[in-house]
Structure 1
Amino acid sequence: MYEGKIIKFYREKYKLTQEQLGKDICSITHISKIECNQTTYSPEIISLLSMRLGINMELEINKLKNIKQHLFHWQDAIIMQSFEDMEQINSELERELLIEISEYRFMYQLLRARYFLMNNWPLEAFKTIKKIQKIENKLTPYETNLLKHVLGIYYFAKHEYVKAIETLKTIQNEDYNNPEYYYHLAIAYHTIQSPVLAYYYAEKSHEFFQDMNNYLRVIDAEMLMIIQVEDDNGKEEIIKRYKKLIKSCELMNAPERKAKVLHNLAAEYFRRKNYEQASRFYKESMSLKDQESPVYLLSLEGFIRSSFDGNLINNDQLIQLTEHGLTIATRIKELLYIHLFKLLLYLLKSKEKEYHQYLFNKALPMFSNSGYTYLIKRSKKELFHYYSNNNLLDEALEMANLLINA
């Protein structure tokens, strides 16, 4: 079964004709039938053909058989976010020539797209996805659903959250035994501010990660569940849950996740207008992050806003911090943070008119195009209050209509 495929692969790899390969061993017709698995053949002929090709047939057959297992190990490493294992298996698979003739070659390409997305290379992922979509009718039911999962993650990376949800919700559970996609659905629903559905899917992913003993991803799902809860009566319980997660991150030596939990704890304090605690935890989160990264800028923006609203740092220092943030955002080409820090500069310099002009003309269109639901809503409210306070009734009515329709 495997011998013919392997012989054909290496014959074509070494640019041999069937006549050249079979010379003094067997006929062209016999070679053709062996390669197409249309005849029986003796072990001696396979041995002679293998020697001419310079391969160990038994070893090659084992490699071909093990590709499936290797791919599922790679998928597990991706789900577990075990980056060291993920990179090692990727390197091994890149050197595995027989993937080209394996029945799992499409699965390999799909997981490769997922690997690209994990490394924040959306363009490479998109190229791979487009190639797979052209032969979608050749995919197994499992691969069809894996394609939907990868495509959903791609849409999320491109800030197309509604598309991500629409795609992920078409996954058929009976053909796809990877409930990890519930987590990506939860993230997408959270981003469009749909807390009930975000909590529902986060809880389902939490169960899956627990069953896998994947405790780092359990932290991710638990954090997502906490964020959806806005119960002022149980606010102390929410704080306790965040602090418990911080301890879990410390026990598992997971500084990146600890930084995320600290940021969300800061955001919770900011929501409650406890600006002193908010700025404290934003600062602690920043200390664990690479300064040349969007996640650092996210916490820096929160730190500046909480320090400004709480009157915790003088204006000159805040302007200096904001200019620092704008410099980083410009250098790493993060348009979202370029807008956010420019807005902060107008705010800190008391340029109210310029702030709202920039918000309406530059920032809000970008937020809308990218689907930043929270920022869209906040911006429209700010513009509505500004127009109302300045007796710009037509503009205020337009913003009111936009808020109602949203």
Structure 2
Amino acid sequence: MIEGKIIKYYREKNKLTQEQLGKGICSGTHLSKIERLHTEYAPEIITLLSERLGINIESEITKLNNIKNLLNDWQDVIIMQLFDEMDLINQELEQEDLIQISDYKNLYKLLRVRYLLMHNLTEDALYIIYEIQKNEDKLSSYEANLLKHVLGIYYLAKHEHLKAIQALKSINETDYNNKEYTYHLAAAYHSIESPVMAYFYADKSREFFKEINNYLRVIDAEMLMLIQVKGDGDFNESIQRFEKLIKSCELCNSPVRKARLLHNLAFEYYRRNNFELASKYYKDSMSMKDNESNPYLLSLEGYIRSLLNGSILPRDKLLQIAKEGLETAIKKNEKIYINLFNLLCYLIQDKEQEYHQFLRDHALPTFKQFGIVYWINRSKKELFNYYIKIEQTNKALKMAELLINHE
């Protein structure tokens, strides 16, 4: 009976009326019943209609039946973050006309959102999300939970971390067997500086990635778990875990993950005031990145701060590096990094008043706009200490209140 849906699709694609297509084969009324799957029909009629439409009906039926398998393969490579395979399947699906009449068109749209988000095309993804939400009541239980998952990923991309947590926490695991969402939940908790919850969900995601033999994502989960350990107890053990993960990245030929690990290791040294090693690992991380990418700029900011705090490079050279970073940020119109490198320029030049004024009036509002909790809290602490230093007690108390209440 599926033949009727295929005939209708290609008839409408060729802009034919039922009477035009059926002329000399069957009546328009009979064709209408065939298309709506309301009647039996002779195989000869389908053959004649297919020939007139220029299609091979058996081939079209096979393609329609294979769509579900293709979508399952697409979801698997998306979860595994195999970008080449992901792109190939996307191209194949884009050429598959019959998706729109299959039972899996909503699943396709949802996976299409995931694909777009993997390529940082958030606005294109949002357009499809709105389209899906108009017919949300028609989604299966699995698709409804997949919608919550893609919403969580979208909110993460937009730095709306509390919304991401709300969406991801509402997923029903009974109806949704893709526990990858626990990794995104861990990432959301990490972004709001909730290390216990981030560690808990990262551990759950690690177990899931182990179950599906997805070793690269195991590295992602373990990295997320490792950076939640903020204690200054046995740092040597943390170093060994970093080195083990870095070795795993080399064995798996994943330079992107290695660069991320080097950046995080640099930050751990920075937190412990070992600015020489921090600058070394920031530099190693930068050497593996595109020098106009956001990850490069993030490592560059840490690299300059490490060199400055450790008095490793003369200030005139540091200022030159900071200005180069600022130029790149302006060229890319990256508001966050424009603010960060402006702050560095003031800091390097010992312009304390201008630094804190810029921090208060420009940088902090931008960090709030993008929901970047680490830089929000760091900015508030710096402003609190500055107001104490210049004896503006009321402003210091206000900043302390904001810190305590996490406003």
| TM-score interval (norm. to shorter) | over 0.9
Matches within 5 A, 1:319-338: 319-338=319-338
| SS of equivalent to 2:227 | helix
Partner in structure 1 of residue 307 of structure 2: 307
**Superimposed CA distance per residue, residues 155-184 of structure 1 (whole angstroms, 9 cap, x where no aligned partner):** 111111011101111111111111011000
Q: Map of 1:334-353 to 2, 5 A cutoff?
A: 334-353=334-353
Q: Which segments of 5 or more consecutive residues in structure 2 lack a partner in the other structure?
A: none
Using structure 2 for the length normalisation, give the TM-score.
0.99
Q: How many residues align?
A: 406
Question: 2:252: which partner in 1?
Answer: 252
Partner of 1:52: 52
CA distance in 2, matches of 1:222, 1:252: 15
Partner deviation per Cα, 1:298-337 (whole Å, 9 max, x = no partner): 0000000111111111111110110011011111111111
Alignment of 1:6-405 (within 5 A): 6-405=6-405
Counterpart of 2:5 in structure 1 is: 5
Runs of 4+ in structure 1 off by over 4 angstroms are none
Q: Please, what is the CA RMSD of the aligned residues?
A: 0.8
Which whole-Å deviations, capped at 9, do the CAs of 1:259-293 have from their partners, x for residues lacking one?
00100011111111111111000000000000111
SS of 2:146's partner is: helix
Counterpart CA distance in 2 for 1:290 and 1:119 is 16
1:108 partner letter:
Y
For residue 176 of structure 2, what is the amino acid of its counterpart?
Y
User: Once the two structures are superposed, what CA deviation does each residue of 1:42-81 show, in whole Å capped at 9, x if it has no partner?
Assistant: 1111111111111111110010111111111111111110
Of residues 274-283 and 15-24 in structure 1, the stretch that sits farther from structure 2 once superposed is 15-24
SS in 2 for 1:173: coil
The alignment partner of 1:232 has SS state of coil
- Give the superposition deviation at 1:22: 1.2
Cα-to-partner distance string for 1:200-252 (whole Å, 9 max, x where unaligned): 00001101111111111111100000000123222111100000111111111
State which drifts further: 65-74 or 228-237. Answer: 228-237
Tell me the distance in 1 between the aligned counterparts of 2:35 and 2:402.
Answer: 65
User: CA shift at 1:396, angstroms?
Assistant: 1.0
How many angstroms does 1:367 deviate by? 1.0
Q: 1:343-371 CA distances to partner (integer Å, 9 max, x unpaired)?
A: 00000000000000000111111111221
Write the letter of the residue equivalent to 1:380.
K
User: 1:24 is matched by which residue type in structure 2?
Assistant: G
Q: Which 5+ residue runs of structure 1 have no aligned equivalent? A: none
Query: Letter of the aligned partner of 1:399 in structure 2?
Result: M
Distance 1:221 1:213 in 2: 13
Aligned-partner residue type, residue 322 of structure 1: A
Instruction: Please give the TM-score of this superposition, normalised by the length of structure 1.
Output: 0.99
Fraction of identical pairs, as percent: 62
Matching residue's letter, 2:317: Q
